[in-house]
Amino acid sequence: MTLNQYLFSAGLSASSFAPNLGLSHSSVSRKLRGRVGWSLAEILSAASFFDIEPADLMPTPDGNGGWIPAPFKPARRQRDADALVPQVGLEPTTHGL
C-alpha cells in the first residue's frame, strides 16, 4: 500500500516501475495488490529508487494477526527539489498542494 503512494506521488505506473525491479508489469501489479510477497532484494531496490530507507516500506504487526501499512513519508528526492524553490518576499513559498 505504501509503495503505491510513492508510485502515485512520482507519477509512475506499475508498468513503468517494473523495469527498475527487473520484473514484469504483471508481477509488480500482483505485488502491489498484496497477492504476491516482496523479496528483500525488491524492497531494497524500491527503497533505493525512491531514496528512502527500506524500513520506510515495511508494515508493522497490528497485534491481531494482521499488518499496518508503513506510513507514507515524502521521498527525500522531493524534499530536495522543494528546497530549490526560494522564498519570495515576506510570505513563505507555497507548493500549490
Domain boundaries, the chain: 2-83
pLDDT tens per residue, range 23-43: 999 999 999 998 998 999 999
pLDDT tens per residue, range 40-63: 999 999 999 999 999 999 989 999
- Per-residue cell: 8: 502515485
Residue 7, phi then psi, degrees to nearest 5: -65, -45
pTM of the model: 0.69
CA distance 25 to 22: 10
Q: For the domain covering 2-83, report its CATH number.
A: 1.10.260.40
3-state secondary structure of 85: coil
SS3 for 45-92, per residue? HHHHHHCCCHHHHCCEECCCCCEECCCCCCCHHHHHHHHCCCCCCCCC
CA distance 49 to 62: 28
